[in-house]
Amino acid sequence: MSFIFRAFANGTDGVFVGGCRLNECNYVTHGNYHALNVVLLCKRIMEHIGLNPERLRVEFMSSGEGMLFARVVNDFSKKVKELGPLGSKGETTREELRSKIQDVTRLIPYIKLLKKEKLESRLESEEQYEGLFTPEEIDELFREVPSYYIDPDKCQACMICGRRCPVEAIDGGKNRIHVIDQEECIKCGTCLEVCPSKFSAVKKISGEPVPPPIPEKKRTLVRTAKKAKG
């Protein structure tokens, strides 16, 4: 998914995904089914952000079908030329698209986690393609994106979440209350999963703004020694 949106972010006018025929993959993973589902999801997301989904195409064929490959690619190239450059014919402007694509790209880990079950499904016919992901489903997906926040009153600066964050979006250190950079956060929820239950410092927030980060001068964690029992 990230490869597809990276191509559009870099100004590519069309993306073609080719794979071996469904149910004929030499590997037990049958990754071509997953690729199909990813493309179907990307098309819905493209509609959501104002990018014509016809700019993305997936086809399946064997390695011996050179004539079919040439015909399909020529047909797709013709379609992309008809659509024109990104931002043409009713699409969101090129500048707005770049910004929206960047937002989508940042959320890809969250999207893949949320839609994991559907992305792993095996569609048996083209009639099933249209209903796998719906416009209403995608609207809800982006409307209810969660945020994660570290409660400064509960954070014990154990550094576990900071070490496990896949994009290093958590600023912290020894005896330093941790803060999540909301611009860098990819909404994967790793921090919530790894925060020790005895602290429960990480909160998942939906439908409301994230509290502002604690001021830098108040981030030093002051530990008080426990009195020995006599």
Judgement on whether residues 73 and 165 belong to the same structural domain of the protein? no
Using CA atoms, how far apart are residues 137 and 2, in angstroms rounded to an integer?
20
The domain total for the chain is 2
Judgement on whether residues 115 and 188 belong to the same structural domain of the protein? no
| Boundary-marking domain end, from 114, 143, 172 | 143
Answer whether residue 229 is part of any domain. no
- Ranges of beta strands (E only) in 118-229 are 147-150, 170-173, 176-180, 202-205
Judgement on whether residues 7 and 105 belong to the same structural domain of the protein? yes
* Per-residue pLDDT, 229: 56
CATH number at residue 172: 3.30.70.20
Judgement on whether residues 106 and 70 belong to the same structural domain of the protein? yes
Judgement on whether residues 182 and 122 belong to the same structural domain of the protein? no
| Boundary-marking domain end, from 128, 143, 158 | 143
State which amino acid sits at residue 87. Answer: G
45 is in which domain, residue-wise? 2-143
Q: Write the pLDDT tens digit of every residue in 85-143.
A: 999 888 999 899 999 999 999 899 899 989 999 999 999 888 899 899 999 999 999 98
Model pTM?
0.80
Judged on CB neighbours under 10 Å (0-12, 13-18, 19+), 229 is exposed
* Per-residue pLDDT, 39: 97
Answer whether residue 230 is part of any domain. no
Outline where 62-185 has alpha helix (H).
Answer: 66-83, 94-106, 108-114, 116-119, 129-132, 135-143, 160-164
pLDDT less than 50: residues of the chain: none
Q: Report CA-CA distances (Å) from 121 to 17, 60, 113, 128.
A: 18, 17, 14, 11
